[in-house]
Every structure is written in C-alpha cells, then in structure tokens.
Structure 1
Amino acid sequence: MSRPRRPGMPRSALSLITLVLLVVLVCVAVVAPLIFAGQAKSIDVNAIQGGMSGRHPFGTDALGRDILARTLVATRLSIWLALLATLLGTLCGVIVGSLPIIVGRRLGRLIVAGFNLLVAFPGLLLALFLALVFGVGARGAVLALAVGMAPSFARLTHTTASGIAKADYVSAAKLLGVSRRRMLLRHVLPNIAEPLVVNATSQVSSALLSLSALSYLGFGVQPPAFDWGRMLSDGLSSIYTNPAAALAPCVAIVLAGVTFVLAGELLTLLVAGHRAAPRRRAAAVTASGPGDDLPPAGPGDVLRVEDLTVGFPSAGAPLVPVAGVSLNVRAGEIVGIVGESGSGKSLTALAIGSLVAYPGTAHAAVHELGGNDLRGMRPAARERFLGTSLAMVFQDPLSALNPAIRVGRQLAEVSEVHGGLRRDKAMARAVERLRSVRIPAPEQRARKYPMEFSGGMRQRAAIGMGLMAEPLLIIADEPTTALDVTVQRDVLTLLRQVSDERGAAVLFISHDIAVIAEIASRVLVMYGGRVVEDLPVTALADDAAHPYTRALVASIPDMTTDRALPLATIPGRPPDPSARPDGCSFAPRCTFADDTCRSTRPPLAETPDGRRVACWHPRTEADDADPTVIEFGAEGGR
C-alpha cells in the first residue's frame, strides 16, 4: 500500500533538483569557509597566474591563491549580502507601501506617486547612484541595493493591500472601530505575506547579480574581503591568459541565481497547495445545543432612518443609487428588504453602518440607533458605538472572515478592542459565542482557519462574531444566497432564535421573496433607490398595494405554475441612477401609469390600514388584475 501524498507538496524532477541545489548551496556556504579558508588566503609567489592543473583545477590569481577555494569560500559572503539586501529592501518596501493606508488619502497619494516614479527608474542605476551616497564597501552596496529594490516591493505591497482593504472582513474591522495600525498588522499584512515572500525569494537572484556587479565596478566588497563580483573583477585582467580565473565566479553566480529562481517557483507551488488543502478538508455542519440567554431589549425603535441618500461623483450628473429612504426597525423585529439588483438594498445597509466606501457619501435627516444620533457623533465615537451596537452578516462569509487569522482570534478581537478583556478571557468568550451559534466542538473549531469551515459553519461563525458585543441591530445582507436549502434553513432559524432570545432587531436583505416570507414579520420593497412599499409579510403574497410588489410576487414560480411556459418577467429595465425620471421610477414599466405618475414622484404615504406605499394608483383589491408581469407564450410571443 502506497504512502499517501501530503497535500500541496509538489513532486517533480524540477522540484527535486531545486531542493538538491538549495541543500548544496547552503552546505557550501556553511562548510567551505571552515575547510578552505586557509587555502583561499594562502599566497604562493611560485604559482602566480597559474593555469588549470590537478592541484589548482581553476588556476590561481595574481597572488597565487587557488581560484576554486576562493570561489567556494566567497559563497557565504555573496549569498549573505544578497539575502540581507533583499530582506532590507522588502522591509522598506512593505513599510512605504503600507503608509498610504495609515497616513490618509492626501499624503498617501503623494507617497504612491513617489514610489511609482522610482519604479520606472532602473534599479541598478539607482543603486549605483546611492552607492556613492552611502560610500563604497559591502555595507554601502547592501544599503544602496535595498533602497533600489524597495520601490518595487512598495508597489506590490500597496497594490495587494488595496485589494485586501476592500474585503468584507476589513469593513467589519472598521465597523468594530479597529485602529488603522492594528487593522494593517492584523488584517492586511498577514494576507499579503505570501506574495511578498514568494516575490522576495525570486528577487534574491537579482540581488546577487546586482551586488556582484557593484563589486565588479569597485563599489561593493573591498579587499582583503572578496565575493564573486570582486573575484570576477580581479580575474578580468588575465581573461586571455587564464580564462578559468573569471569562469569560476561566473559559474557560481549563474548556478546560485538559477537556484533562487527555482526556489521561488517551488515556493509558489507550495503556497498554492497550502491554499487548496483546507478546501479539500472542509467539514460538514452539525448542530449542538442552544446558546446562553439574555433579557430582551426594551420596546421602541432600535433603528430610525429618515431621508437617507447615498451619492457618488461622476463625470456627468452625480449617481444617486439611494434617494430618500426612510425606515425603522423595532426591538426583536425582523424586517426584510426585497427588490431587484440595483435597487439600493445593500448600499442602504452600508450607509446605516457608516461603511459607504470613498468617494461615496451618505446623508440622512435622521440616523438613530438605539436612541443615539449617529450624525452628531465624532467619527471615533461613532465607530466605537457601531462596533458594539451593530453587527453585519455579509453574503459571503469566506470574504467576511480573515483567511489568515484563526476564527477564535477573530471573534476574540471584538472583546479585546471594545470590552478591554485580556486575551485568555476574550478567547473564552469567543468559544462561548461559537457554542451559542451551534458550532460543534467550539474549543477545537476556534483554533481552525475559515478555510477549514464549511459554508454554513462559516456563516454561523460570522453571526457569532456579530454577537460578541451584544448588538442592538443585526444587518444580514444576502446571508443565505450561497448556501444549500438545508443549511439555509438552519441559518434562518438561528437568526430568528437570536432575535427572539436577545431582543436584537434584524434587517434582512434578500432577492428571494420566499426566504423573506419565511423569516420576516414586515417587508420593505425597494425600487430605484427608494422604498416603494412597507407592508406586513402576511400581505405580501395576496394583498400588496404597489404594482411593483405584485409584479415581484407574480414572477416567482409556485407549484401551480405551468412548466410548459417560460417564467414570467417584468418588462423593461430598472432606472439608471444618473438619469432617474421626475415621476414614479416604476412608471415606464407599469401598465397602470398615467401622466401624473410620469411627472410627479409619489410620496411614501401611510394607508388607512397602517401600511405605507409610494403609488398614485395603489391596488386596493386582492384580485385586481395586474398585467405588469408579462408571460411569454410557448411560441415566444407576448
């Protein structure tokens, strides 16, 4: 029976050759100065400029010293200087590339422009100039080359960090009020470490070649010390009479350079295998007992928002994807938000959590959470308050959880930042929260990475992270979209349980009206960046007043739908946020629209039965014919 192959460990002839070359290079660097140091420094006036012989396979130099012994001994210094220059260049690049995230937007732009300009300048020429500044010698050459390499690493750091900074788990960290420095060290840099390490390994060969060139030109290692570049310079004078004197260091430079290039490729394969292995080991979801109970919150509105507007600048008219949204959610209430893609659901949720990304802006006439006016708070105080009072559950839990940090540590960070708990107590609290959201074996699972969780378990962990600070409001943005039906029901049950036991208000966003009907008690229907109807979930299926709401419901197939016909659709397209009509946004797609609908926007007015609807001609009878939804016939006609 064959031994199982370790996941992610490449087995090929090239990988084996790379490992052998690395072992040989390390052994030579460590052992050669111990064995051949005397022979490399021994001057023999009787063997000056000697050719290749059995005693001196690569001949001797101008002082009669053995070229082969000197080449072997020079391995340690040559490799050490290349590694040191690469390490310093990487550290400088990471620091400079990270500064734009810490110092703010304006100064950050100047820093980015600076290292982008330096990247366009050849690194070796920059190192030659800097070598004059730092002075000749090994130290000056290393510093010069490190500074010359730093711009490329700074650019790589900034590019990768900027992508990571847009991830959901970074947005969640911002919501928790985590400082920029802590966010950089804990959430950004660990996730860009792999490309930096792989790139640095490959750059060692370039550093080796550049340092050899500096020594060859007289800027690097100075006598009596010697590296391969210094030996190449000494052997050039006798290139025609004793070519082996220059050949030996050249071969050493090439072999070492190729070794480090291959090592970078091997490291890339290992990293790729390491990333793929947890996906193959994803565990299944099982349930355990319920969590701890907390007394429900008092009555009243937990969230109250009036006239919320979100805008983005553009070359023409500004984009306003959310325009004049007003809503409220009471303690222990689950309110669903439905609508087509682009209706403004997710942007509304981000604006409520003060997470609209630059250059977007969000304004509201009233923005209160738990009776606290968020508009009057200073940014730092608002971040601290939202970090403890608001929880966000994103659509993709894998992007909401930092893949480089263990799940337990991510949950514990909430209590460390906002609760002031020690590391051990914060971890104990994290384990309890994992248990409360029915994660099996929470002590062991807390030490796992998000990639080692299944989809449903990751979503439970994301909900558990939201419960670490006892939130007043939970915003769930499409939390069940990527889950199968069984796990979807588990997540819905968990959210309902959390709302009942803890008294938390829940704002549940989804495209799936069936899911909304299962979990919510009240539904907000959004279209064109506005709330067009606010109604009880019991009235959603048969008693909606707005034609758009009825069209959405009618477009959902049920057990009585004729499968011989194509699915029903709503004709037309949603409005463009940059060119929204003056009247009702749904008028171009509505069969009931008249001149009033096209010229005047209807307000979100309260109806006699306590609902709210934005329509000049609301449907008042449950059986009103609504031809807004068009069913295409079998032949394709309308």
Structure 2
Amino acid sequence: MLRTPLGAAATVLLAAVLVLAVVAPPIWSARADAPDTGQILAGPSPAHWMGTDSLGRDILARVLVATRLSVELALAATGIGVLIGLLLGTAPLLLGARVGRLVLAAVNIAVAFPGLLLALFFAVIFGVGRTGALLAIGFAIAPGFARLTQTLTARVAGLDFAAAARIAGVGRFRLFLRHVLPNVGEPLVVNATIAAGNALLAFAGLSFLGLGVQPPGYDWGRLLGDGLGGIYVHPAAALAPGVAVVVAGLAFNLFGEALAKTIGPRGPLPAGRRRPQRPAPVPAASPPAGGETVLDVRDLRVAFPGPVTPVRGVDLTIRRGEAVGLVGESGSGKSLTALAVAQLVEEPGEVRAERLELLGTDLTAGPVRARRRLLGTSLAMVFQDPMTSFNPTMRVGRQLAEVARTHQGMNRRQALARAVDRLRAVRIPAAARRAGQFPHEFSGGMRQRAMIGMGLMGSPALVIADEPTTALDVTVQRRVLRLLADIRAADGVALLLISHDITVVGQVCDRVLVMYAGRVVEELTVAELRAGGRHPYTRALLAAVPDLTTDRHAPLAVIPGRPADPADPAPGCAFAPRCGFADERCARADPPLAVDGTGRRVACWHTERVARAADPATRPAADPADLAAADPVAGLAGPGPGPAPGPGNSDEREVRIGDQS
C-alpha cells in the first residue's frame, strides 16, 4: 500500500491526524484555554497565527486541541455502528432464517432514509449533547453496514465449503468466526475506515447545529459554529476548524480507498517455516460387508417444500473398483443424487430411501458422529468448481489437513504432513511449497487435483466426481480423468462420475446410468452405449454430440422442447412431450425401469420401436434425418437454430460444433 502515491499520502496524512490527536492536548491545552481580554477577536499575527476568539483564546491552539475529541467521537460512533451492523447483518446466519427476515426487513426500511436524516432523528430521541450525538451517528451508520454485512455473509455462506462445514457439524458461531468472517473481513474493514471519515463529518455537522458537543467542551464542529457568526470580519475563526474537518475527513476516506485497492492477496509461508514430516499412518477402509458392494441405493428420493421432488426413485449399485457414469441434461437430478448420497442436502431438503448404504453401513440411521466419520474417510467428493469448494482465505495445505484432524484425530503436524503427501499423490509439483499457498495461486487444473487430494486424505472406497472437468481445457481435462483412472486402478476405488458429456463418460466408465426428470431412464454398459441406447432420450443425447465426422454444413442436432419441471410433473412419461415415439399410453402412464428383451434396464414403453428406428451397425451419433427416415421420430432430435446450410456459413458451423464439444 505504501508503494502507491495514494496509499503513501493517505497513510502519512492519517498518521499525522492520529499523532496530533494524541500530542496536541498536553502541549497546547493551556494556550487554548487561556483568555486574553487584550486580544479579543484579534486577527492573524505572529503571536496568534489564526487570530483569537471572543475571549482572546488562540484559535489555532483550540483547533489542534479539538483534534482528540473530534477523532475520539468519530471512532467511537463508528465502533457502535459497526458492532450493531455486524449483529444485524449476521442475524440470518446466527439466529436462523425466520428471525433474520424480520431483522432485515427493519434494516431495509432504515436504509431507505438518508444517513444524515437518521442521525438527526436519533439525535432528537437520545437528546442534545455529546452522548446523544454519539449514539445518533452510531445508529445512523448501522443500517448501511448491516446491509453490506448481510450481502457478503449470504454469498459466502452459500458456497460449497461453508455448506460442507455445516453438514460436518460446525455450529453457527464457529462457522461465522472461522469460515465466513475471514472471507468478508477485508471489505468490512475498508468500509469501516471510510465510515469513520463520514462519522467525523457528521459529528462536526451535529455540533455545528448545536446538537453535539456543548460548552465548555468543544470539537471542530463547535468551533466552526462559533466562528461562523463573524466570518465576514474574522474569517480565520471559521476557516481553521473547517480546514481541519476537511483534512481529517479526507485522511480517513483516502486511506479507506487505498486500503481497498491493495488489501487481499497474501503470499505463501516462507519455505523455512515448513518442515517435511513423515506421513502418519492412515487406517485403510474396511472391506464392504457382505460382498464387494461399496454403495447400495434403493428408491432414493429428494424432496423440497412445494412440493418439489427433483430426485424420484433412483436405484444405484456400485461395486469396488467399478466406474459408473451418471449422465443427463442440466436439471435432471444428477448432482442432487450425489449430494444425497454424501448427506450434503441441507434443510429444507428431505432425503428418503428404502436403502442407502455405504460399505454396508446405513447412512439414514445410527449415530451422527459415526456416519460423519465414515463419510469423511471412506467417501471422497470432487465438486464441479473447486474455487467455491476451497475457502479462499485459508491455505490449501491447512484445508486438506483439516480433514485428517477432524475425521482421523491427527495432530496439526501429522495432518499437514499427510496433506503434503496427498498433494504429491495427485501430481502437484513442489507439494510442500504449494501447501502453503492460497487457492487463487493455483491454476484451474491444479485446484481440481488439490480437490481430489482432499478426498484422498482418508482411504476412500468411493469417489464421487461431479463434473470434474468443467471449464478445463482438453489437455488438463485429460490429466484429471487419467488421475481418477489411476487412483481407481491403484487402490480399487469405486468411481461415480457425473457429467453432461456422454463422450467423456463413455471413455472412463464401465456402466452408464442415464437420468431424466429425477429418475434413471436407462442403465447400460459402455459397449451398449456405443452401439446405441434403447431409450429415445439416450439416443437423442448421443445424436446431439458432434464428432470429427459430423457434417459442419448441416444443422447441429438438438433435443427439442424444454426439460421437465420438477415442480409440475406430468402424469405419464416425463420425456413424452419431447419424444417422437410418444403415444396416448406414454401420456397416461409412467413406464417403470424394467429389464427388456436384451437384458438392459430401460424405462420406456417403446424400446423395440426405438431399436428398429436405427440400424444397430451405424455409429451412435447417427444423423437425425436418417432416424426420421427410418421411423416418424422427427421430434427426437431436430435441427438447432441458425442460418440455412451453405458454404458461406462454414465458419459459423465450426464455432458451433466447437462450442458443443
């Protein structure tokens, strides 16, 4: 901050004001309070640089002595406003949503009024004088600070790392102090600094109006009011305190602005402070009870008030070392299914299941502490956006170590050594140095690998990867997928890969579950996926994926219509409004997920018609026009919007195909 002209000037100016507030009263109090009847209302002179007042007291000395009281009152009012604002702004987080709504309603009403009007209103309530003005300005600052605090805390409290802390049993106050406040502290400090300057100006205004400091006490506002009456014959009496108010106000505000531009990023810990430690032994995951099944889910449902049921009746079984893909459009319930398995669905969401077992342990019953320990050591969750999953104010190594300390009882040194070892395991170079860095100092692919490393802090039997390659370029995406494959092969870890990219799933997984409208509509192997699905939605997904052989002059295939609304489910098959095979039976009855003639589980009344609609020998991304020719399924995958095909549009086709890929 001191390296910038603004920061250096603001710091020097504010330091001068604060030093003057400390040293001025002992030095100049006697001169400021001593009357001299022979020098009443004297003009500027070598003896009195700013002249004297109506009692012959030196004006400059009084202005310098008034610095302490003016600054003290401004800082005290700011402290009151910040404290009340913090309490009001954090009410939804600390006291719950119901009480928080009432508090925020009152805050929103108060914010609608100008700050000076609020100060005058509270000054009338608390009475004339120093104490009344102090409370008035503090209460006037509080609503704006509360609104800012609520906005910042709501954003941070909604991020993945805060949600994970809540699910892990962290209390509201600890969550606020450890995870939320460090992430919102910097903007709050900056705004508090600026608020101090505004409070100083407001206090001077109230004293000028006669509502603040009363005689015989005086601050800058009081001196300004006393000198204003003779401004035409003795302007220095009003000029000196006015300049002091402006300079001090500028010092606080400029310091706040300079602080806002420079505060934030912090460098890593010095390398000398970190000593490599031998990783502590971690107990291996116990073998699954009753066979090789790692995860067994039956009739999983997730419901929200409304009622809204975005996941309805999902069955899922994953064995040790197996990779299962979960594909579907956005909103099909893939991520919510994973969150329900990991017990990360928060209230008011409700998870119900006929069976929900991890390593033979029922996750819907039993002691909460035991379930958390099992999930913390035997299940790893890799989220879609690691930047929201990592706490940006905590070093990466410390965040990984927290897993070992919470779930495995390691001490701080052992946990940090384990974190460095896991970062090496996911191929992060200079792992010891990287452990002391913050998430923003990692690249996107490195953050994703660090997130995988966090999941490996225990000895997981199941890794749930929720869109792990989103927003990564193809080379980094390949590295992340290869890392997951290596972890699976080395330790026999089961993998649940969630993706909207059916091609990626086909390259990594053994089995594929296709989800639509909150339920599984088809289950098939990767070999069967390459040959083509038997559900119209599966074939539409395959047809919508372009490859290098796709005709770039032809319109891209899309699935017509809109995804089903979980708040308004149709009585029959959810895919019927978008399906070219749909008939009256589809609109009337929802097909069960049953085994068809080929041994696959498909939820469709017309699997045979779908199989006959396309030649099984053709590639899965068959042209929609060919499908339409084989069977009247024009609604299965229609052309996307865009100009008519032609040579002049070839470049545009290339861009669209690249975007879809």
Distance in structure 2 (CA, Å) of the matches to 1:81 and 1:347: 53
Q: Which position in structure 2 is the counterpart of 1:267?
A: 259
Select which of 406, 422, 425 maps to 1:436.
Answer: 425
Maintained 8 Å contact 1:565/1:634: no
One of 299, 302, 306 as aligned partner of 2:294: 302
2:401 maps to amino acid: A
Residue 412 (str. 1) matches residue 404 (str. 2): no
Moved more, 477-486 or 319-328: 319-328
CA contact (8 A) 1:304 1:327 kept: yes
Letter in 2 for 1:228: W
Partner of 1:116: 108
Matches for 1:17-28 after TM superposition, within 5 Å = 18-19=10-11, 21-28=13-20
Indicate the SS of the match to 1:468: coil
Counterpart position of 2:236 = 244
Q: 1:238-292 CA distances to partner (integer Å, 9 max, x unpaired)? A: 5565443233212211222233223332222224xx56999xxxxxxxxxxxx99
- CA distance change for structure 1 residues 237 and 569 in 2, over 3 Å: closer, same or farther? closer
Aligned length: 612
C-alpha distance in structure 1 between counterparts of 2:41 and 2:246, whole Å = 24
- Distance of aligned partners of 1:455 and 1:376 in 2 relative to their CA distance in 1, 3 Å threshold: same
Q: 1:341 to 1:129 in 2, by over 3 A?
A: closer
Query: C-alpha separation between the residues in 1 aligned to 2:564 and 2:84?
Result: 49
Structure 1 residue 457 corresponds to structure 2 residue 440: no
Query: Which whole-Å CA distance do the structure 2 matches of 1:391 and 1:306 have between them?
Result: 21
Separation in structure 1 between the aligned mates of residue 299 and residue 102 of structure 2, nearest angstrom:
37
CA distance in 2, matches of 1:378, 1:144: 51
The question of whether the paired residues in 1 share the 8 Å contact of 2:284 and 2:459 is answered with: no
What does residue range 38-57 of structure 1 map to in structure 2 within 5 Å? 38-57=30-49
Matched, 1:68 2:55: no
Partners of 1:9 and 1:270 within 8 A in 2: no
Does the CA contact (< 8 Å) of 1:478 and 1:510 recur in 2? Answer: yes
The superposition leaves residues 25-80 of structure 1 with CA deviations (integer Å, 9 ceiling, x where unpaired) of 34544554454344223332322333333422322123322101211222233223
Deviation for aligned residue 1:457: 0.8
Partners in 2 of 1:567 and 1:293 — Cα distance?
51
Secondary structure of the residue aligned to 2:400 is helix
Once the two structures are TM-superposed, the CA of residue 94 in structure 1 deviates from its matched residue by 1.8
Counterpart-to-counterpart distance in 2, 1:504 and 1:135: 71
One-letter identity of the residue aligned with 1:152 = G
Q: Residue deviations 1:305-361, cap 9 Å, x none?
A: 2333334445xxx44333322222223322111112222212222233333455544
Question: Which residue does the alignment assign to 1:211?
Answer: 203
Q: Does 1:558 align with 2:547?
A: yes
Are the counterparts in 2 of residues 295 and 501 from structure 1 also a CA contact under 8 Å? Answer: no
Change (3 A) 1:626 1:603: farther
Task: Give the whole-Å Cα distance in 2 for the aligned partners of 1:552 and 1:118.
Answer: 52
- SS of the equivalent of 2:456 reads helix
The corresponding residue for 1:596 is 585
2:94 to 90, 102, 113: 102
Contact 1:547 1:626 in 2 (8 A): no
Alignment of 1:490-505 (within 5 A): 490-505=479-494
Corresponding residue for residue 283 of structure 1: none
Give the corresponding residue for 1:182. 174
Alignment-mate amino acid for residue 591 of structure 2? P
2:352 matched residue in structure 1: 363
Matches of 1:494 and 1:180 in 2, distance apart?
Answer: 36
Separation of aligned partners in 1, 2:196 and 2:598: 74
Superposed displacement of residue 616, structure 1:
1.5
8 A Cα contact 1:58 1:66, kept in partner: yes
Task: Kindly state the Cα deviation for residue 413 of structure 1 after the two structures are TM-superposed.
Answer: 1.9
Give TM-score, length-normalised by structure 1: 0.86
Q: Distance in 1 between matches of 2:2 and 2:465?
A: 39
Secondary structure in structure 2 of the residue aligned to 1:310: strand
Contact 1:582 1:601 in 2 (8 A): yes
User: How far 1:147 moved relative to its partner?
Assistant: 3.8
Helix, strand or coil for the counterpart of 1:376?
coil
Q: 2:560 corresponds to which residue?
A: 571
SS in structure 1 at match of 2:295: strand
Residue matched to 1:538:
527
* CA displacement at 1:223 relative to structure 2: 5.4
Superposition map of 1:387-398 within 5 A: 387-398=376-387
- The answer to whether 1:617 aligns with 2:606 is yes
Mapped to 1, the partners of 2:206 and 2:459 lie a distance apart of 61
SS in 1 for 2:302: strand
Contact 1:475–1:506 at 8 Å: present in 2 too?
yes
Return closer, same or farther for 1:600/1:459 CA change in 2, 3 Å cut-off: same
Unaligned runs of 5+ in 1: 1-7, 279-290
State the alpha-carbon separation in 2 of the partners of residues 631 and 120 from structure 1.
51
CA contact 1:524–1:534 (8 Å) conserved in 2: yes
- Whether contact under 8 Å (1:176, 1:388) holds in the other structure is no
Structure 1 stretch displaced more, 359-368 or 94-103: 359-368
| 1:353 alignment partner in structure 2 | 342
Percent identical residues: 55
What's the secondary structure of 2:92's corresponding residue? helix
Q: Structure 1 residue 466: deviation in Å?
A: 1.9
2:145 to 140, 147, 153: 153
Task: Decide whether aligned partners of structure 1 residues 261 and 476 sit closer, same or farther in structure 2, where only a CA change above 3 A counts.
Answer: same
CA distance in 1 between counterparts of 2:344 and 2:445 reads 25
Specify whether residues 471 and 173 from structure 1 end up closer, same or farther in structure 2 by C-alpha distance, changes over 3 A only.
farther
Q: Aligned partners of 1:193, 1:262: CA distance in 2, in Å?
A: 19
Residue 518 of structure 2 corresponds to residue 529 of structure 1: yes
Shift of 1:97: 1.9
CA contact (8 A) 2:285 2:460 kept: no
Q: Deviations over 1:167-213 (max 9, x none)?
A: 12222323433332222112211111122122112111221022224
- Please state how far the C-alpha of 1:372 moved relative to its aligned partner: 2.9
**Paired AA for residue 340 in structure 2:** A
Instruction: Provide the rounded CA distance (Å) in 1 between the counterparts of 2:134 and 2:51.
Output: 30
Q: How does 1:79-94 map to 2 (within 5 A)?
A: 79-94=71-86
Report if the CA contact (8 A) 2:591-2:603 is conserved.
yes
SS in 1 for 2:312: strand
1:262-341 counterparts in 2 under 5 A?
262-271=254-263, 274=264, 294=284, 297-298=287-288, 299-313=291-305, 318-341=307-330
Equivalent residue for 2:275? none
Q: Distance in 2 between matches of 1:88 and 1:381?
A: 44
DSSP-derived class of the 1:327 partner: strand
Retained in 2: the 8 A contact 1:330–1:505? yes
Asked if the contact 1:407–1:446 (Cα under 8 Å) also holds between the matched residues in 2, the reply is yes
Supply the AA of the counterpart residue of 2:183.
Answer: N
3-state DSSP of counterpart to 1:417: helix
Q: Over residues 515-559 of structure 1, what are the superposed CA-to-partner deviations in whole Å (9 max), with x where a residue is unaligned?
A: 111221111101122111111122211142222212222322234
- Normalised to the residue count of structure 2, the TM-score between the two structures is 0.83
Provide the C-alpha distance between the structure 2 equivalents of 1:529 and 1:292, rounded to a whole number of angstroms: 37
1:176/1:414 contact within 8 Å kept: no
Aligned residue number for residue 484 of structure 1: 473
Secondary structure of the 2:410 match is: coil
Separation in structure 2 between the aligned mates of residue 589 and residue 222 of structure 1, nearest angstrom: 78
Uncovered stretches (5+) of structure 2, i.e. residues with no partner: 269-280, 619-625, 629-635, 647-661
Task: Give 1:416's aligned amino acid.
Answer: R
Aligned partner letter, 2:517: G
Does structure 2 conserve the Cα–Cα contact (< 8 Å) formed by 1:296 and 1:504? Answer: no
Structure-1 residue corresponding to 2:652 = none
In structure 2, do the counterparts of structure 1 residues 151 and 569 end up closer, same or farther at CA, with 3 Å as the change threshold? Answer: closer
2:51 to 48, 59, 73: 59
| C-alpha spacing 1:20/1:636, structure 2 compared with 1 (3 Å) | same
Q: Larger relative CO (CA 8 A, sep 6+): 1 or 2?
A: 1
How has the CA–CA distance of structure 1 residues 416 and 85 changed in structure 2, closer, same or farther, with 3 Å as cutoff?
farther
